[in-house]
Each structure stands twice: as C-alpha cells, then as structure tokens.
Structure 1
Amino acid sequence: MLNVFERWYKRKFSDPDSMMLLLLLLISSLLLAVWGGILMPVLVAAVIAYLLDWPVVQLCRLGLSRGYTTILVLFGFISVSILTLVGLVPVVVQQSINLIKEMPQIWEKGQVWLLTLPKTYPDLIQLTQIQDVLDGINERVVGLAEQLLSASFSSLGGFGALLIYMILVPLMVFFMVKDKEMLVSNISSLLPSERRLIKQVGTEMNLQIANYIRGKVIEIVIVGTVSTVTFAFMDLRYALLLGVLVGFSVLIPYIGAAVVTIPVAIVALFQWGLTPDFWYLMVAYGIIQALDGNALVPILFSEAVSLHPVYIIIAVLFFGGLWGFWGVFFAIPLATLVKAVGNAWSSPKELTTET
C-alpha cells in the first residue's frame, strides 16, 4: 500500500511545478477560509471587474484611453444598477409583502385539500398520517418565522457595512479595470519561478471565469425578463416577483429550476385552481426552462468546459455549503478549476520550464 502511494506521489508531485501549484492552492484556500468575510468586498469587486472588462476592451479598440473608457463604462454600470434598483426593488418588495400576507390563506386551502385525500384514497392515505404531516409543517413554519424575524433585526447591523461596500467596491472596480495589466504583472512577480502549471491553470480559469460571469448575467436578465413578461401576459399575480425568482434560479443549475417551480405552481394553483389557465401557465413555464437549458445556455457558455450534471450538483452543494451565495455563484468555475488542476497534474511534463 505504501509503495502504491509512493509511486503516485512521485508521479504527481516530483515535478517542482506541481508542488508550487499545490502550495498555491493550499494558501489560497486557507486565506479564503480564514479571511473570506473580510475579503468579500474584494471578491465582489473582482466579479464586477470581470463583467466590465469586455466593454472597456471594445471601447479601447476604438482609440480611447483605458482610463477614460473605464470611467465611462463604470458610470454607465452604476447608473443602470441604480435605475434598476429604484424601478425594480420597490415593486418586488411590495409584491413579496402581499404574498406573505396571503400565505395563511394559501396554506389554509392547502390543508383543506390535503384533508380530502384520505376520503379520495382511503386505502393509501390515513387521516392520522395527514394530521401528523400538517402538525410537523406548522411547527416548521413557526420556527422559520422566528428565524426570519431574528434575521431581519441582525441585518440592521450590516447596513453600515453595506454603505461602506457601496464606496469601496466601485473604487476597487475602477482600479482593477483601469490598471489590470499592472496588477496582473505585480501578482505574477510574486509567484515562484516554477510556475508552468500555475500559468496553465490560470490562463484556462481566466477565460472560464470571464465567460461564465458575462454569460450568467446575460442569462439572468433574459430568463427573468421573458418569465416576467410571460407571467404578466397570462395575468398571473406577483408576475414581477416570480419572474425575478426564475431569473436568479439559473444561478443554481438544475436545482434552482426545480425549486422555483414550487412558488410559481402554488401561486397559479391558488389563483386559478386546476383549470386550463393553470396548465397553460405551467406549459409556458416549462417551455421557458427548456429553451434556457437547450438553446440559451449552449450559446452563452459555448467556451465553457463541459461538466457532467452530477459534478455540477455536487459542486453547488459543496461550495454553496462553504461560502453561501458566492459559493453557489462560482460553483461551476470552481468545479472547472478542480478539473483544470486535475488536467494539469495529469498532463505530460514539458522538457522546458517557464521562468
């Protein structure tokens, strides 16, 4: 057994480049694990910088200076973000409040329907089983309400931090985009000379992350807009709120689409019951999801490394459990990183090592 491990170790890590790559990964993971909360504004700024770098590069090709184009693009991004928040957030918040107010009525109708099941299927379902399920759900609902209440009070303390982020993040984004070449050069100078595999993985991940962030933002906007327009056209209540939920559900592949189907179906069922309107809506919603998965995603992420759905779900669960929202957001790039590292360690060693 020891001989097998020794042969594996020599095959994978006898190359100094492999050891440097492993050391860099360990140090990066340690920094994120210990100071991830402190570094969060930097990570947010890096995400936005990746998003804005492409339009800056395109404008620079027209002959404009990078500093000027950075100011122009960043100002446009901030303006669009503010207008979107001012026009979108109040409506979404109001619809959320209205939906929460109606939840007791929805839940009451749901209980009435559940209690009819023992009469409809007496051989399969007993009344005591339904009663136990309802009691368990009611207890969970009460506990969830208490958690939401406590979370709302605790979030007040983070309001000051949010104001600080609103100042720091745009400043960091500006300098990250404007001085991109200088920052990359400074980081490169800190790396060891044995960096062939580090450069190989870094080049692949730079392309993947840039493509992923741009594609994911475009996907959220398209899916959210189409869903909102479809729901509003079919006169579904809370169309904007549900459309926003459907848009953000694409952040979590497969799982998000399955989860967000529940509130869409519940609102439609409460509004129309099991009528043709309900089924028309669910068919339209299914078409949106099918077009997203089979047409939009292949177009937007044509440059992305293909990953098996099982690997994607595992990555979402693992990295989401580690870093919450940002772990979910970067689940696919992080899974791609793992794959790139594995490919780098499995690739034949080059005779020359870049210094």
Structure 2
Amino acid sequence: MLSVFGRWYRRKFSDPDAAMLLILILLSTAVIVFWGGLIMPVLVAAGIAYLLDWPVNRLMRIGVGRAIACAIVLSLFIGVTVLILIGLMPIISKQSVNLIQETPLIWQRAQDWLITLPQKYPDYVQVYQIHNMMEGLNDKLVEFGEQLLSASFSSIGNLAALLVYLILVPLMVFFMLKDKAFFLQSISRLLPQERRLITQVGHEMNAQIANYIRGKVIEIVIVGAVSCITFVLMDLRYAMLLGVLVGLSVLIPYIGAAVVTIPVAVVAMFQWGISPEFWYLMAAYGIIQALDGNVLVPILFSEAVSLHPLYIIIAVLFFGGLWGFWGVFFAIPLATLVKAVITAWSSNPSPSKANAV
C-alpha cells in the first residue's frame, strides 16, 4: 500500500512546479481557515474589484486615465447601491415586519387545514399523526424564534464591523483597481520560480472568477426585478420582499430555488387558497425559474467551466458550511479552482519533460 502511494506521489509531485502549487494551496487554505474572519474585508474588496475591473478597462480603452476611470466606476457603483438600498430597504423592512406579524395567523390557518385531513382521507391520515406533527412543528418554531431573537441582539455588536465594511472596503477597492499592476507584480515577486502550474491555474481562474461574479450579479438583478414586477402585477402580498428573496436565491444553485419556493407558495396560499389565482402565480414563478435555468444562466455563464450539478451542490454545502454567505457566493469559483488544480496536476509533464523545459 505504501509503495502504491509512493509511486503516486513521485508521479504527481516529482515536478517542482506541482510541489510549489501544492504548498501554495496548503498555505492559502491555512490562512483563510485560521484568519478568514480577519481578512474577510480584503476578500470582499477583491471580489468587488473583480466585478468593477471590466468597466474600468472599457473606460481606459476610450482614453480615460486609470485613476479617473476607477473613481468614476466606483462612484457609480456606490451611488447605484445606495439608491437601491434607499428605494428597496424601507419597503422590504415594512413588508418583513408585516409578514412576521401575520405569521401566527398563517400558521393557525395551516393547522386548521391539517386538522381536516383525517376527515377527508381517513384511510391515509390519522388524528394522532397530525397532532404529533403539529407539536413537533410548534417546538421547532419556538426554537427558531428564540434563535432569531438572540441573533438580532448579537447583531448589535456587529455595527463596528459594518462601519469597517462601509469605510475601508470602498477604499481598498479603489486602490486595488488603481494599482492593479503594482499588486500583481508584488505578488509575482513573492511566488517561487517554479510556478508554471501556479501561473496556469492563475490565468484560468482569473477569467473564471471575474466572469462568475459579473454574471451572478447580473442574474440576481434580472431575476429579482422580473420576480418583483410579476408579483406586483399579480397583486401578491409582500411582492417586493418575495421578489428580492427570489433574486438572492440564485446565489445557491438548485437549493436556493427550491427553498424560496416555500415562502412564495405559503403566502400565495394564505392570500388566495387553492384557487386559480394560486396556480397562475405558481405557473408564472415556474416560468421565471425555467427561463433563468435554461436561458439566462447559459448566456451569462457560457464562458465558465461547466461543472456537474452534484459537484456544485457539494461545493455549496462545503464552502457554505466553512464561510457562510461568502462561502456560498464563491462556491462555484472555488469548485472551479479545485477542478483547475486537479486538471493541472493530471496534465503535468513527467520529470524528464519538466527538466527539459
């Protein structure tokens, strides 16, 4: 067994470039795992810089200086973000409060409907099964309410962290955009000379991450806007809140769409019951999801490396469990990174060829 492992190790890591790539991955992983919370503003700034680098380059092509282009793009980004927050946050906050206040009434109606099931289907549903299920659900709701309350109190202590994000992150984004060449040269000087595979993976991931971030932001905006407009036109209650949730659900492929279906269906059923209006809304919602998955995603992510859905779900669960929201957001780029590394290792030349290079 040890001889088999030894042959595999010599085949994969006898090339110094492969060994340097492994060391770099281990060091980067250790830094993120142990100090990820401390450097998270830097990672967020880097993600935003990836998003804004494309319009900066477009402005430079028409003759605008890099510093001025960075200032213009960053100012527009901050302005649009503030306008969206000012326009949406009051409506979303109000609808969230109203939905929370009506949640007990929705749950009571759901209980009344569940109690009628043994009378309608006596051969399949028994009264004691309904009572046991409702007791379990009530306990879960009480536990969830306590967790939500404790989270709201603990979030007060995160105001300082929020101020850090609001002040330092835009500054870091500006300097990352303005002095991009300087930072890339500094990183290049830190890397070892045996960096053929590191450069190969870096070039591949540079385009992949940038395309993914831009595509995901565009997808969120389009799906959220279309969902909000559809829900408003169909006179669904809490239309803006549910539309924003549908837009954000695309952050988590497959899982997000399934989870957000629950509040949309519950609110629609509470408002209309099992009626034609309910089915019209669910049909419209299904069309939005189908167009997103079969039209919008292929267009936006046509240049991205294709990953099997099972790999995407595993990446979302793994990286989301490690780093929460940002782990979910970057799950696909990180999975693509893993795939690029495996491809690089699998295609590395033999020791003789490596020495010849």
Write the distance in 1 (CA, Å) between the matches of 2:166 and 2:100. 30
Write the distance in 2 (CA, Å) between the matches of 1:116 and 1:85. 44
Q: Is 1:120 the counterpart of 2:116 in the alignment?
A: no
Write the distance in 1 (CA, Å) between the matches of 2:216 and 2:355. 36
CA RMSD of aligned residues (A): 1.2
Q: Deviations over 1:3-33 (max 9, x none)?
A: 2111111111111111100000000010011
Write the distance in 1 (CA, Å) between the matches of 2:158 and 2:258. 31
- 4+ runs deviating over 2 angstroms: 350-355
Write the distance in 2 (CA, Å) between the matches of 1:22 and 1:352. 17
Q: Which residue of 2 aligns with 1:250?
A: 250
Write the distance in 2 (CA, Å) between the matches of 1:117 and 1:18. 63
Q: Which residue of 1 aligns with 2:232?
A: 232
Q: Which residue of 1 aligns with 2:133?
A: 133
Output the amino acid matched with 2:134: L
Q: Deviations over 1:23-63 (max 9, x none)?
A: 00000010011110000100110111011100000000001
Q: Which residue of 1 aligns with 2:179?
A: 179
Q: Deviations over 1:266-322 (max 9, x none)?
A: 000000001000000000000000000000000000110000000100010011001
Q: Which residue of 2 aligns with 1:163?
A: 163
Q: Which residue of 2 aligns with 1:331?
A: 331
Q: How does 1:1-355 map to 2 (within 5 A)?
A: 1-349=1-349, 351=353
What's the CA shift for 1:353?
7.5
Write the distance in 2 (CA, Å) between the matches of 1:13 and 1:164. 42
Any conservation in 2 of the 1:245–1:260 contact (CA below 8 Å)? yes
Any conservation in 2 of the 1:223–1:247 contact (CA below 8 Å)? yes
SS at match of 2:116: helix
Output the amino acid matched with 1:86: I
Q: Deviations over 1:82-136 (max 9, x none)?
A: 1111111111011000000010110001001111111111111111111011001
What's the CA shift for 1:352?
5.7
SS at match of 2:327: helix
Sequence identity (%) = 69
Output the amino acid matched with 1:15: D
Output the amino acid matched with 2:6: E
Write the distance in 1 (CA, Å) between the matches of 2:111 and 2:61. 62
Any conservation in 2 of the 1:195–1:354 contact (CA below 8 Å)? no
Any conservation in 2 of the 1:118–1:125 contact (CA below 8 Å)? yes
Write the distance in 1 (CA, Å) between the matches of 2:96 and 2:40. 28
Any conservation in 2 of the 1:196–1:353 contact (CA below 8 Å)? no
Any conservation in 1 of the 2:12–2:348 contact (CA below 8 Å)? no
Write the distance in 1 (CA, Å) between the matches of 2:230 and 2:356. 54
Write the distance in 1 (CA, Å) between the matches of 2:123 and 2:276. 30
Output the amino acid matched with 1:47: G
Write the distance in 1 (CA, Å) between the matches of 2:356 and 2:131. 69
Any conservation in 2 of the 1:312–1:332 contact (CA below 8 Å)? yes
Write the distance in 2 (CA, Å) between the matches of 1:31 and 1:91. 40
Write the distance in 2 (CA, Å) between the matches of 1:76 and 1:108. 47
Write the distance in 1 (CA, Å) between the matches of 2:227 and 2:153. 32
Output the amino acid matched with 2:176: M
Normalising to structure 1: TM-score of the pair? Answer: 0.98
Any conservation in 2 of the 1:234–1:281 contact (CA below 8 Å)? yes
Output the amino acid matched with 2:155: S
Any conservation in 1 of the 2:15–2:354 contact (CA below 8 Å)? no
Any conservation in 2 of the 1:194–1:354 contact (CA below 8 Å)? no
Write the distance in 1 (CA, Å) between the matches of 2:24 and 2:238. 48
Structure 2 residues without counterparts, runs of 5 or longer: none
Q: Deviations over 1:166-199 (max 9, x none)?
A: 1100000000001111101100110000000000
Any conservation in 2 of the 1:193–1:354 contact (CA below 8 Å)? no
Write the distance in 2 (CA, Å) between the matches of 1:194 and 1:121. 71
Output the amino acid matched with 1:72: I
Any conservation in 2 of the 1:228–1:242 contact (CA below 8 Å)? yes
Q: How many residues are paired up?
A: 355
Output the amino acid matched with 2:156: L
Output the amino acid matched with 1:70: C
Write the distance in 2 (CA, Å) between the matches of 1:216 and 1:152. 28
SS at match of 1:63: coil
Write the distance in 2 (CA, Å) between the matches of 1:352 and 1:314. 34
Write the distance in 2 (CA, Å) between the matches of 1:164 and 1:296. 35
Output the amino acid matched with 1:241: L
Q: Deviations over 1:230-264 (max 9, x none)?
A: 00000001000000000000000000000000000
Normalising to structure 2: TM-score of the pair? Answer: 0.98
